[in-house]
Amino acid sequence: MPEIKVLPEDVVSKIAAGEVIERPASVLKELIENSLDAGASKIEIEIKKAGRGLIRVHDDGRGMDREDLRLALGRHATSKLSVFDDLYSLATFGFRGEALYSVFAVSRLKLTSFKAGADSGYSIEGEGGRVIADLPAAPVKGTTIEAADLFFNTPARAKFMKSDAAERSHLIKTVEEAALANAGVSFRLVIDGAELLNLPALPGGLWENLKNRAAAIFGKSVYAGLARVEGKTPGMAVYGLVSRPDALGATRANQHYFVNRRPVSSALLRQALYRGYGHMLTGRHPACAVFIELDPGAFDANIHPQKRDVKFSSENEIFKTVSNTVHEELLKKQTAAVAMAAPEAGRQFTAPDVPAYREAAAPPAPAAEAPGLFEAPTAHPHGGLQPVAADWRASDLSYLGQLAKSYLLFESDGGLLVVDQHAAQERVLFEKYLDEFSRGAVKVQPLLVPLEAELSRSQMETVLKWRDWMKSAGFEIDQRGPAVALLRAAPALFYFSQPAFAEFLGYLSEVLGEPERAAEEIKRNVIATMACKKSIKAHDFVKPQEALRLMDDLRRTKDSYHCPHGRPTLFHLSGVDIARRFQRGSAA
């Protein structure tokens, strides 16, 4: 008996399906691409039960006749490629003829289509790869494909599905990417009866439509920080929208890269973009929709089952063109922005969030000029005749005053104690809040006027997943409309401005992931850190009693030397250090 067997067709089809169809969003991506390949100008999408119940895509494209419909379901059935070399000159999204075959293998599928000139529309229905019915249908222009009960016959795969909310956010992202890349096509997305996206294509040209899309998809606040970039080298064009250096975000969410309008994940493109920002980046991340147009022969989209990776034939050229284009355009804009911002320059030390480009443009602060000064006493070299900096908590403080509305100065132990007011306040708030939280006693303050945050649809999905947990953390969040979150109550310790709340929520929705996954302590630390950072004090000026009270509070914290982000809260310049500066020798 031979041990090698040829696998039966239905097993083969499920294996193939596993590569192309990883999750509901992969089905949706393939169906949208087919509609685009069919020349659709309008694509309507309906989703039920996070895509497991139903994924329905209706387009007004060129349609299929009865014969095409039957052929379309077969493996390697494609109208887009006939000889291998065509693979390198294709302008269509599909070419492998695997998508419908794969979807058919793992769902109950119904295709309805009408092709101009045919005597009637046709509809074909089946499940798990077997055709059940084939009937005439109404002559409605275009094609409708409905994939129901996804993975009904592959329970093992169904188990790998994430939560509904996670699958929904992948589905939404798929439509968002298609809509960014095909700004001339109308998109509408309805999930469980609610319209999440309605993006008509207006007669305004590429940039107009791209801007409208970006505003709808990124949300107004991210959109407001975007700048247009555009560049060309022989054989290649780059264009798109990227964050201005003063409008960077906390994470990499909202980054979209496209090669010939195909969404790709490409470390090369991301690195090229980042290089374009150079020193302006300061650890933060741009939002972007970057489009690369290349000759189809200059890259290979066939190296990944879901065509998400691409291989470029001339990586260096692409890297250089992208980074130079971004860099030059940003520099132009930065010069304009600095010129406009100049009268404000004196305010930069009191502004809670100094725009990154001004920070970067200023000469670096001589932070580490005197080594050791910025370290906590525990890190000081102890021993010998070296004067040991005393623990500030043990000494009396007398308040000397405030510097640049940012630093508090105290006489302490015969030396000078310099405290970063915001960092100290953050540390105090952070520990007070975590303490209340761990005792289950977060004091909550309802807001008379709720604060609004406009989010992207996928961020909104994440926020909704976290709503219950956020409530236990003292934040009462509601939804208004598909993409506006409302803050109705917050921990009494915090005070948020409207933009700060929007940033806080945007950041959380990007870093938190799945509520049930993360450890409770990590979740608490993340929310406490972010809330402290975004919660600004009502005024920067501090009265002497307030300064001393802050120091009392700080004295009681577990780590009075660092803010929750790890920056120092204070340093001590001893009498000896000061004397040395005046060359008075080592006598204190």
By CB under 5 A, residue 63 contacts Mg ion: no
Q: Closest CB to ligand ADP among 34 and 107? A: 34
What amino acid is encoded at 332 in this protein?
A: K
Q: Pick from Mg ion, ligand ADP, none: which does 69 bind, CB < 5 to 8 A by kind?
A: none
Angle CA(94)–CA(95)–CA(97) in degrees, nearest 5?
95
Question: Residue 35 CB, nearest distance to Mg ion (Å)?
Answer: 9
Instruction: Give the Cα separation of 354 and 246 in Å (integer).
Output: 8
Instruction: Give the Cα separation of 532 and 145 in Å (integer).
Output: 49
Question: Residue 443 CB, nearest distance to Mg ion (Å)?
Answer: 56
Candidates 33-41, 221-229, 271-279, 283-291 — which segment interacts with Mg ion by CB under 5 A? 33-41
Residues 61-100 that bind ligand ADP (CB under 6 A): 61-64, 72, 77-80, 94-100
In the DSSP assignment, the letter for residue 384 is T
Task: Pick from 38, 376, 493, 508 the residue near ligand ADP by CB under 6 A.
Answer: 38
Task: Pick from 17, 47, 99, 199 the residue near Mg ion by CB under 5 A.
Answer: 99
Tokens describing residue 165: 């909310």
Task: Pick from 94, 121, 128, 355 the residue near Mg ion by CB under 5 A.
Answer: 94
Q: Closest CB to ligand ADP among 97 and 513? A: 97
Tokens describing residue 221: 């606040």
Question: Residue 114 CB, nearest distance to ligand ADP (Å)?
Answer: 10
By CB under 6 A, the count of residues binding ligand ADP is: 24
Single out the residue of 123, 167, 135, 158 nearest to residue 17, CA to CA. 158
Q: Closest CB to ligand ADP among 177 and 461? A: 177
Are the CB atoms for 485 and 226 separated by under 8 Å? Answer: no
Q: Per-residue DSSP letters for 479-528? A: EETTTEEEEEEEETT----HHHHHHHHHHHHHH---TTTS-HHHHHHHHH
Q: Pick from ligand ADP, Mg ion, none: which does 246 bind, CB < 5 to 8 A by kind?
A: none
In the DSSP assignment, the letter for residue 558 is S
Task: Pick from 13, 26, 35, 334 the residue near ligand ADP by CB under 6 A.
Answer: 35
Question: Residue 537 CB, nearest distance to ligand ADP (Å)?
Answer: 57
Q: Closest CB to ligand ADP among 17 and 528? A: 17
Question: Residue 73 CB, nearest distance to Mg ion (Å)?
Answer: 12
Residue 225's CB is within 10 A of a number of other CB atoms, namely 18
Binding pattern for the stretch 130-169 against ligand ADP, x by CB under 6 A and - elsewhere: -------------x--------------------------
Q: Assign residue 487 a region (left: φ > 0; alpha: ψ between -120 and 50; beta: otherwise).
A: beta
Q: Pick from Mg ion, ligand ADP, none: which does 80 bind, CB < 5 to 8 A by kind?
A: ligand ADP
By CB under 5 A, residue 323 contacts Mg ion: no
Tokens describing residue 246: 């003063």
Q: Pick from Mg ion, ligand ADP, none: which does 78 bind, CB < 5 to 8 A by kind?
A: ligand ADP
Measured in whole angstroms, the distance separating CA 203 from the mean position of its chain's CA atoms is: 30
Q: Pick from ligand ADP, Mg ion, none: which does 72 bind, CB < 5 to 8 A by kind?
A: ligand ADP
DSSP, collapsed to helix, strand or coil, labels residue 365 as coil
In the DSSP assignment, the letter for residue 297 is G
Residue with tokens 């000081």, as numbered in its chain: 380
By CB under 6 A, residue 21 contacts ligand ADP: no
Tokens describing residue 281: 């980046």
Residue with tokens 């000896």, as numbered in its chain: 576
Question: Residue 250 CB, nearest distance to ligand ADP (Å)?
Answer: 38
DSSP, collapsed to helix, strand or coil, labels residue 572 as strand
**Partners of 410 in beta bridges:** 399, 417
Name residues whose C-beta falls within 8 Å of residue 260's C-beta, 6 or more positions apart in sequence.
91, 292, 293, 294, 296, 299
Question: Residue 251 CB, nearest distance to ligand ADP (Å)?
Answer: 33
Q: Pick from ligand ADP, Mg ion, none: which does 209 bind, CB < 5 to 8 A by kind?
A: none
Question: Residue 45 CB, nearest distance to Mg ion (Å)?
Answer: 16
Going by their DSSP bridges, the two strands 54-59 and 130-137 should be labelled as unpaired
Name residues whose C-beta falls within 8 Å of residue 436's C-beta, 6 or more positions apart in sequence.
442, 443, 474, 491, 493
By CB under 5 A, residue 34 contacts Mg ion: yes
Question: Residue 329 CB, nearest distance to ligand ADP (Å)?
Answer: 35
Q: Pick from ligand ADP, Mg ion, none: which does 63 bind, CB < 5 to 8 A by kind?
A: ligand ADP
In the DSSP assignment, the letter for residue 285 is B
Are the CB atoms for 59 and 38 separated by under 8 Å? Answer: yes
By CB under 5 A, residue 47 contacts Mg ion: no
Q: Closest CB to ligand ADP among 61 and 355? A: 61
Residues 212-241 that bind ligand ADP (CB under 6 A): none
Residue 532's CB is within 10 A of a number of other CB atoms, namely 25
Candidates 2-10, 32-40, 204-212, 378-386 — which segment interacts with ligand ADP by CB under 6 A? 32-40
Instruction: Give the Cα separation of 456 and 324 in Å (integer).
Output: 29
Q: Pick from Mg ion, ligand ADP, none: which does 61 bind, CB < 5 to 8 A by kind?
A: ligand ADP
Question: Residue 213 CB, nearest distance to ligand ADP (Å)?
Answer: 22
Candidates 91-99, 195-203, 452-460, 492-500 — which segment interacts with Mg ion by CB under 5 A? 91-99
Question: Residue 304 CB, nearest distance to ligand ADP (Å)?
Answer: 14
Measured in whole angstroms, the distance separating CA 145 from the mean position of its chain's CA atoms is: 30
Residue ranges binding ligand ADP (CB under 6 A): 30, 34-35, 37-38, 59, 61-64, 72, 77-80, 94-101, 143
Residue ranges binding Mg ion (CB under 5 A): 34, 94, 99
